[in-house]
């Protein structure tokens, strides 16, 4: 199996398409967010991993996502995958991550012992609610 994409997101909607296909609508794709409160805190960003099983491939595998900060593991998620050869699938990954300081966490995604896809997620300081719109920081 191969990872096609891995993204942090806010919303997911599946809908049928002509011919029996399925459309996946993702909303709120992001690679950073302003913290909801000052650190320390716990965050639980949603990650979606889209994968495919090539024709003739094994229909079962394991997805492992290791979240790291400065090279240190801060969370891990492992789950089984099953998809027919020639088809696509996705898994949702949510880990509760304790954060002591603002900065970047990386999600290292891999299927079985295959190549790693790294997805960064940066936690920014909270937006000062008292700041005027002209001085509020811009998100990415």
3 state SS for 82-136: ECCCCCEEEEEEECCEEECCCEEEEEEEEECCCCCEEEEEEEECCCCCCCCCCCC
How distant is the alpha carbon of residue 25 from its chain centre?
A: 15
CATH classification of the domain holding 93? 2.60.40
Confidence (pTM): 0.86
What residue numbers bound the domain in which 87 lies?
A: 2-11+26-103
Q: Strand 97-99 relative to strand 60-69: parallel, antiparallel, unpaired?
A: unpaired
Alpha carbons 59 and 40: distance in angstroms, whole number: 42
Q: What is the domain count for the chain?
A: 1
Q: What are phi and psi of 25, to 5 degrees?
A: -100, 120
Confirm whether 132 is domain-assigned: no
From first to last of the 140 residues of the chain, give the pLDDT tens digit.
999 999 999 999 999 999 988 899 999 999 999 999 999 999 999 999 999 999 999 999 999 999 999 999 999 999 999 999 999 999 999 989 999 999 999 999 999 999 999 999 999 999 975 454 554 455 55
């Amino acid at each position: 199996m191969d990872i096609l994409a891995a993204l942090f997101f806010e919303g997911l909607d599946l809908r049928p398409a002509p011919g029996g296909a399925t459309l996946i609508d993702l909303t709120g794709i992001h690679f950073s967010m302003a913290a909801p409160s000052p650190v320390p805190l716990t965050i639980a960003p949603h990650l979606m991993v889209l994968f495919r099983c090539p024709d003739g491939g094994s229909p079962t595998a394991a997805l492992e996502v290791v979240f790291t900060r400065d090279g240190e593991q801060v969370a891990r998620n492992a789950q089984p995958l099953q998809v027919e050869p020639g088809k696509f699938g996705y898994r949702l990954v949510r880990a509760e991550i304790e954060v002591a300081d603002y900065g970047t966490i990386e999600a290292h995604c891999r299927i079985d012992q295959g190549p790693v896809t790294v997805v960064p997620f940066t936690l920014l300081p909270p937006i000062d609610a008292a700041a005027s719109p002209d001085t509020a920081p811009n998100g990415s």
